[in-house]
Amino acid sequence: MAFVAAISKRSSTVRGIKRPSTPYLLLIPGLSWLAMFFIFPLFTLASTSTQTAPEGADTGTYVQTFRLANYIDAFVASREQFLRSIIYALIATLLALAISYPLAYAIAFKSGKWKNLLLVLVVAPFFTSFLLRTIAWKQILGNEGPVVTVLRTLHVLGPQSGLTASAFAVVTGMTYNFLPFMTLPLYASLERIDPRTLEAASDLYANGLTTFRKVTFPLSLPGVVAGTLLTFIPAAGDYINATLLGNPKTKMIGNVIESRFFEIVDYPTAAALSFMLMAAILILVMAYVRRAGTDELV
Amino acid sequence: MVDAAASTKGDLHLTNLVKAFGDFRAVDDLSLVIPEGSFFALLGPSGCGKTTTLRMIAGLEEPTSGKISIGNTDITYAKPYARPVNTVFQNYALFPHLSIFENVAFGLRRRGIKDVKEAVTKVLALVELGHLAERKPVQLSGGQQQRIAVARAIVNRPALLLLDEPLGALDLKLRRQMQIELKWIQTEVGLTFVHVTHDQEEAMTMADTIAVMNEGRIEQMGSPVELYESPRTVFVANFLGQSNLVKGKVEGASGSDLQVSVHGNRIVVPSARNFAKDNSDKSVLIGIRPEKISIEHPEANTLGGGVITDISFVGVSTQFQIQMPWGQELSVFEQNDGGASHLQKGDTVALSWKPEFTFALDGTADVDAGTSVNPDEI
Ligand SMILES: Nc1ncnc2c1ncn2[C@@H]1O[C@H](COP(=O)(O)OP(=O)(O)OP(=O)(O)O)[C@@H](O)[C@H]1O
Ligand SMILES: [Mg+2]
């Protein structure tokens, strides 16, 4: 007994000293990366956001005056685009979820030997650039493209109307571009479900629909949360889809930041808007994760 | 016999059931009737098709051919959720996202029962896990999960309960206790239990009827006593308990007895206990259980000239290994009542037993079929 006690005591001291240091060592590369490319720029951005242009200075020259009212001015000037970004991103996320869930479900449970091929196909769009894909989407929705031709033949669209340069094009473009970010986490969590628990549900009087509602869907919730976040966050800050597929009335907050920064050279407003976007996303995400209660999920 | 019609109402009928995976037949032309309200045990080595049979009854696997019915209702192709059947899965298959309470309540809720609290609490108390009701399955030990799997199925009181090795992960004490509980529930509520197990003792003590399964077929079916005292195949003789099987040749018959010559000795077997299908080539295997043999008391059947090669003391009995003049080792179990205590290794002895304990099997069969040193189980 004493011997066993001695051993367990020794191993616990070994654990006490040695164990924690390894995880910390492993964190170093990641933390230094974050410090260099995230924390440091964040401080620069924060400092820029409260600067003002001195009287008679050249465009692009700003000095620190700690003017917090920059935030109010920036928000008042572009609250329309702000709201639009959130709404577009929400719709695109919901559309992506509606399309991805059946797709991920089919790949995880019904694809048999085609599973790997289908997964490659889901990721395949990443082999071309984001920009090219968005331009391709413009072609597909263009007046000479297949979608408009079919809709015109069916008299859903009038002979003069089209689909591009519209809110529809922007939202569907975002949906298309971010679809893999939704599909892959969903697939991963559906794939993890033990099919025997589904058999147990059907053995316990649950038909297909009830099994889905009570077992499959709750078990896939971590994937739903991950997928919606991975889609919503980049979609809310996106400006390429709005630039290429939209019109002046579909401008999103990303477009405003881009033009403030590169065209008007109004760095403080661009920085303030960036901060507000970040804060808005953070608050929405936190509220969402809280509701979904991911901590509770296995 | 007045009751015959009534009691066949809920009988489970399996008729010529076949399940093939590719060209491998996991269940091969299996037919049996399990009377309503009986405790039926399916016993067999690993991979013989027990789970596959249960899955077909539960509706989780579609038979390649054959028919399954309960009473007069054909359920061969009925959906699993539409059958009055519940399963205790071999791998538990608890719902990881639900609490223990909700796991157990699952079947009740699906059938629209609003007030589940009492039933769930009662069944959790029965498996002695009431205090863990709010936990999640991952926070339970293997044996506790297994008991929850049992509780989740029996709470529904189905007409037919399928149990796939439901006590495999429990220690001996808990296992015996759960056996008693299960048997009590079965008789109390009058459910039909189909119980799959590796444990012969469990099958023998609990079941009314045992079916011994081998390679997708039923080798023999009957009451525990019938199976033990009159095994009809070498597989059953070796799989259920231990048997000494010796090659012999039929010499003739006198009255109701068969005379068999076994390495020059004359052995008598009652004709009724001759289970060889075909004696045309006159070769048979003579079978005798080790505890039926006496070293000390002469009886009508005797094989002489054995040499004791090993003696092991196991408490209530002593087990002897005895090498016969033709090289075969036979086992003898003697009660520890003092009679055989002077025997020592190297002693030459004669083995005797009463003719009515002898049985005769097909002489062409493999003597080692169904012995516990099965390559699958090592
Ligand atoms: N889905 C499947 N595909 C192919 N072969 C299978 C499948 N399921 C079972 N088998 C095979 O069928 C045979 C019977 O399997 P089964 O699970 O019924 O055995 P078992 O008697 O329950 O064994 P154990 O006691 O080890 O649980 C095995 O040889 C197994 O390999
Ligand atoms: Mg099995």
Q: For position B198, what pLDDT does the model report?
A: 81
Select from B17, B18, B24 the residue to mutate for testing ligand 1; criterion: most ligand atoms less than 8 Å from CB: B24
CB pairs under 8 A between A and B: 61
Distance CA B335, CA B315 (A): 9
CATH number assigned to the domain covering B2-229: 3.40.50.300
B48 to B26, B44, B45, B377: CA distances (angstroms): 7, 6, 6, 12
What is the residue extent of each domain of chain B? Answer: 2-229, 242-364
Query: Closest partner residue to B91 among A196, A204, A219, by Cβ?
Result: A196
Query: Any idea which ligand is nearest the CA of B55?
Result: 1
Q: Tell me, yes or no, if B79 comes closer than 8 A to chain A by beta carbon.
A: yes
Q: Ligand 1, atom 3: nearest CA belongs to which residue?
A: B21
**Is A180 in contact with A123 (CB distance < 8 Å)?**
yes
Interface confidence (ipTM) of the complex: 0.82
d(CA B51, ligand 2 centre) in Å? 4
DSSP state of B230: S
* B46 C-alpha to ligand 1 centroid (Å): 8
Provide, as residue numbers in chain A, all residues whose Cβ is less than 8 Å from the Cβ of B95: 197, 200-201, 215
**If you take atom 5 of ligand 1, which residue's CA is the nearest one?**
B21
Q: Which residue of B has its CA nearest to A298?
A: B97
Contact B97 A205 (CB under 8 A): no
pLDDT in tens, chain B (378 residues): 334 444 457 899 999 999 999 999 999 999 999 999 999 999 999 999 999 999 999 999 999 999 999 998 999 999 999 999 999 998 899 999 999 999 999 999 999 998 999 999 999 998 889 999 999 999 999 889 989 999 999 999 998 999 999 888 888 888 888 888 889 888 887 889 999 988 888 899 899 999 999 999 999 999 999 999 999 999 999 999 899 999 999 988 888 888 999 998 999 999 899 888 766 677 899 999 999 999 878 888 999 889 999 999 888 889 999 999 999 999 999 988 877 778 889 999 999 999 999 999 988 777 788 775 444 443
Worst-scoring range by mean pLDDT, A146-155, A191-200, B133-142?
A: A146-155
Give the separation between CA A174 and CA A171, rounded to whole angstroms.
5
Interchain contact, A215 vs B95, CB within 8 Å: yes
CA angle (B290 as vertex; B286, B294 as ends), nearest 5: 100
Question: Is residue A188 within 8 Å of residue A227, measured between CB atoms?
Answer: no
Rounded to a whole number, what is the distance in Å from the CA of A220 to chain B's nearest CA?
10
The alpha carbon of residue B54 is apart from the nearest alpha carbon of chain A, in Å, by 12
In whole angstroms, give the CA distance from residue A252 to residue A80. Answer: 8
Name residues 173-202 of chain A within 8 A of B (Cβ). 194, 196-197, 199-202
Give dist(CA B161, CA B41) in Å, integer: 12
Q: Which fold has domain B242-364?
A: OB fold (Dihydrolipoamide Acetyltransferase, E2P) (2.40.50)
8 A C-beta contact, residue B198 and residue B164: no
* Pocket (CB within 6 angstroms of ligand 1): B 21, 26, 44, 46-52, 90
Name the residue with the closest Cα to ligand 1, atom 25: B46
pLDDT of residue A8 exceeding 70, the answer is no
Cβ neighbours of residue A215 under 8 Å, at least 6 residues apart? A193, A197, A198, A201, A206, B95, B97
Distance B164 CA to ligand 1 centre (A): 13
Query: CATH homologous superfamily of domain A49-292?
Result: MetI-like (1.10.3720.10)
> What tens digit of pLDDT does each residue of A221-277 get?
999 999 999 999 999 999 999 999 999 999 999 999 999 988 888 999 999 999 999
Q: If you measure from the C-alpha of residue B90 to the centroid of ligand 2, how many angstroms do you get, rounded to a whole number?
A: 6
Residue A197: closest CA among chain B residues belongs to which residue?
Answer: B93
